[in-house]
Amino acid sequence: MQHKILIVDDDVNICELLRLYLEKDGFETKVANDGEQAVKYAAQYNPDLILLDIMLPILDGWQVCREIRKQSETPIIMLTAKGETFDKILGLELGADDYVTKPFETKEVIARIKAVLRRSNEKNKQNQISEVRYDKLKINLTNYELVVDGVRIDTPPKELELIYHLASNPNRVYTRDQLLDEVWGFDYYGDSRTVDVHVKRLREKLENVSNEWSLKTVWGVGYKFEITKI
C-alpha cells in the first residue's frame, strides 16, 4: 500500500524536490503552498503523514497544526528554517510528531517519515481491538477470549493465537512451519507436531459448531480456516 504524504511549503522548489524524492521512494504525494490550502487538503486528501513548514502565507504552520489536530491524529513532521528550542517545543506541544530544521538532507527527511509512520502504525495496532467473528464464533485476541455458540471457552494462549491467525486469513492454507514462524515466532525450535496437537485440541472445542466454517486439514500441506458460506 502506497503511503500518501501531504507536502506543505510556500517554497515551490522545496516542494518539487521533496515530491520527486518521495515518489521515487514509492510514496504518493500532494502539495499545498499556503496554510489554508493545507487544512483543506488534510481533510480531503486524508494523508498518512504531513510535512508542514512553519512560515506559510494565510495560516502559519502553528495554526495549521492546531486546526488539523482538532479533527485528526495524522502524523505531522514540522519543516522549518527556525532551529530554536522554543519553536521545537511549541511544535511538539501542538501535536507535531517530529521536527526537521532547514537546510535538510532529503534522505534524512525520508528516514524520519518512515520512522514516524512505523510508530504511528504500532500505535494504531495497539488501539485496535483484535477480534474476528463468524457464525457462533468470536475470537478476541485483545482479551484472549474464545466464545463458541455464546459460551466462553477456556483456551490456552497459543491455541487462541493459532485459531485467531487462521480465522483472520480465511481459506488460506498454512504449512506447519509457517504457523510455527507466524504464531510461535522465529525463535521457536520445537517439533512441527506441536501444531498438530494444538489443532486437535481446537477441533475438540469447535467441531460441528457451525456449517458456515470449519478448521480443515489440507493433506500433505497443513491447515486452513475454511469458510463455506460468505
pLDDT in tens, 137-158: 999 988 889 999 999 998 888 8
User: Helix, strand, or coil here: 3?
Assistant: coil
* Rounded mean pLDDT, 12-22: 95
Evaluate whether 30 touches 55 at the Cβ level (below 8 Å): no
- The answer on pLDDT for 187 being more than 50 is no
From 159, 122, 152, 157, select the one nearest 142 (Cα to Cα): 157
Angle, helices 12-24 vs 106-127, to 10°: value is 60
> What is the percent of the chain where pLDDT is above 70?
88
Predicted TM-score of the model (pTM): 0.56
Q: Which three cell numbers stand for residue 201?
A: 485440541
Least confident of 31-35, 91-95, 181-185, 212-216: 91-95
pLDDT at residue 7, as a whole number: 97
Using CA atoms, how far apart are residues 174 and 181, in angstroms rounded to an integer? 11
Evaluate whether 218 touches 224 at the Cβ level (below 8 Å): yes
pLDDT averaged over the chain? Answer: 88
- The answer on pLDDT for 88 being more than 70 is no
pLDDT tens digits, residue range 31-67? Answer: 999 999 999 999 999 999 999 999 899 999 999 999 9
* Rounded mean pLDDT, 183-193: 65
C-alpha angle 86/87/93, rounded to 5°?
Answer: 90
- DSSP state, residue 81: S
Residue type, 97: D
pLDDT tens digits, residue range 98-124? Answer: 888 888 889 889 998 998 888 877 766
For the chain, domains (ranges, CATH) are 4-127 (3.40.50.2300), 131-227 (1.10.10.10)
